[in-house]
Amino acid sequence: MTKYLLLIGLAWVVWWFWRKSRISPRTGADRHDTVQREAERMVACTRCGVNQPVSESILVRGRYYCCAAHLDDSASNDA
């Protein structure tokens, strides 16, 4: 009986190492990608209301725009 338990245990260890070797090891770059970035403040476009990060928006006279076309359109409507 002990012989069979030893064989089962050995088979389990071999299977575990085999499974471990199939999973690719994570590199430093992969681990860096999984780190969550801090959330950025979102703003709404004055023209269409689309929300986007502050870093991607255009700020003119205290108003945020999602693209140059909406900025131009708003400027032509104000004139």
In a domain, 55, yes or no: yes
Query: What is the CB neighbour count within 10 angstroms for residue 45?
Result: 19
Residue 34 in any domain: the answer is no
**What residue numbers bound the domain in which 67 lies?**
40-79
Q: For residue 13, tell me if it sits in a domain.
A: no
Q: Is residue 52 part of a domain?
A: yes
pLDDT digits (tens, 9 = 90+) for 3-54: 999 999 999 999 998 888 877 666 555 555 566 778 899 999 999 999 999 9
pLDDT at 69: 93
Q: How many domains does the chain have?
A: 1
CA distance 61 to 53: 18
68: which DSSP letter? H
Say what the pLDDT of residue 75 is. 78
**Which pTM does this prediction carry?**
0.51
Domain assignment of residue 1, yes or no:
no
